[in-house]
Homo-oligomer: A and B are copies of this chain.
Amino acid sequence: MIMDENTIIYGELITVGNELLSGQTVNNNAAHIGHHLRLANFHLRWVTVVGDREDDIAEALLKAIKRADFVLISGGLGPTTDDRTNLAVAQALNRPLRRHPKSWQVISNHLEKHNLSMTPAIAKMADLPEGAERIDLVRPRAGYYMGDTEKPLFFLPGVPSEMADMLADFVLPTLKKRFPQKSVIRSHSLRLIGLRESEIAQRLEILEKEHPTVAFGYFPRFPENLLTLTVQDSTLTGADSTLAQVVQAVRDLLGLYIYGEGDNTLEMVVGNLLIKRGYSLALAESCTGGLIGHLLTNVPGSSAYFDRSLVTYSEAAKVSHLFVSPDLISRYGAVSMEVAEAMVRGVQKESKTDMALSITGIAGPTGGTKKKPVGTVFLALLCEKGLHSERFQFGGDRQKIKLAAAYAALDRLRRAMIDESFFHGE
């Protein structure tokens, strides 16, 4: 993406804590901060994670100040001996720690309110670097701002809720005041199923070259793909019109492979289509073991259309609940187009739903044959428009095959409802 570098305000984040390095804690704070900065048109360009060591914190801080327009530091502001951020700041910036009267007051009030007494460890939290301006006047753990340094510096607690509050209430408004923005950023996410990342990139290659000011972000989320388009412009209408134009061009190139936008999941999209048509749905699952039912019922309100899923793993279950004849199974095998079709007819007969889908396959690692290797999956879909049946060959391990099969099933339900050629294209 080529942008006018002058218009972008870059931030850096330093997150402090041994628990982040040892993997005990996942760095959700970094994702939260990056996301909210981005929404406010600030770009995080560099995140550094260091442990509870003064030297490392100081080094990270000095490097960040050199590179970025502003710096956020999160963590290491508490009362314990491994909270060393303030000491590192004092050392790096040559700003000795001083008893901060407002902080002392906040801490004293807090202790009084909770009937606790002052300890040296707690008192330490009232010692802040010279020039520090306290962000929050309630919590004892001080978040603070240094606006008189070479670059503006924000110090936030590592506790997620405290960090999030101070980011929203103080950091973002202060940044907006300090860096009034000339340009506007707008972005749009599209969700895709049925194409690999490389296939998507190939189909969009020319479009991407034609629009050098639009950033094309590809995010594989097996078995789906997320595509995020981001535009920066000097005006809101300019950004919106470029974005709308590119989104339309992408839609023209990728068609029905795009199943949704933003936070919409495939199971939500299928659910909404069912609701719109007033359809009910029943499943007969085998190799997916209940995964399709699980995904569909993750959506609040799914009981309006989801009737049942008969997970018939054993042959006996297929026979007794789905009326699949033992003869058919012995002739074609439990994993076959014939049995998939019998399964879907069986579950529809019993449930009388508007749509029914069955799936049977070999999830592995054993059970494959030369003609039907591991990853072979048969699916059948029945509704008033007709019967659709299909054979798939998926790769990967057992869990990947189950996931790929479940998402293929959801995708076929979607296509059966919106693709005019779905039942004719066979």
A131 at the interface (CB under 8 A from B): no
Q: Which of A144-152, A239-247, A298-306, A415-423 contacts B (4 or more CB under 8 A)?
A: A298-306
For this complex, into which size category does the number of interface residues on chain A fall? Answer: 35 or more
Interface residues of A in 35-51 (CB under 8 A from B): 35-36, 38, 43-51
Cα-based distance from A307 to B318 in the complex (angstroms): 10
| Contact residues in B for A101 (Cβ distance below 8 Å) | none
Interface residues of A in 285-309 (CB under 8 A from B): 285, 287-294, 296-298, 300-303, 306-309
User: Quick one: CB contact mask for A102-132 with B, threshold 8 Å, 1 for yes?
Assistant: 0000000000001000010110000000000
Whether the pair B119, A220 counts as a contact (CB closer than 8 A) is no
Whether the pair B35, A395 counts as a contact (CB closer than 8 A) is no
User: Contacts A31-B27, A80-B198 given: A56-B46 contact, CB under 8 Å?
Assistant: yes
Whether the pair A45, B36 counts as a contact (CB closer than 8 A) is no
Q: Which of A89-97, A363-371, A378-386 contacts B (4 or more CB under 8 A)?
A: A363-371
User: Contacts A31-B23, A307-B313 given: A288-B294 contact, CB under 8 Å?
Assistant: yes
User: Contacts A119-B198, A296-B289 given: A49-B30 contact, CB under 8 Å?
Assistant: yes
| Contact residues in B for A159 (Cβ distance below 8 Å) | 220
Taking the closest CB of chain B, its distance from the CB of A171, in whole angstroms, is 14
Cα-based distance from A319 to B201 in the complex (angstroms): 50
User: Contacts A45-B51, A219-B19 given: A201-B314 contact, CB under 8 Å?
Assistant: no
User: Contacts A80-B198, A314-B307 given: A27-B24 contact, CB under 8 Å?
Assistant: no
Whether the pair B217, A18 counts as a contact (CB closer than 8 A) is yes
Q: Could you list some 6 contacts between A and B, CB below 8 A?
A: A47-B48, A289-B297, A307-B314, A308-B311, A308-B321, A311-B311
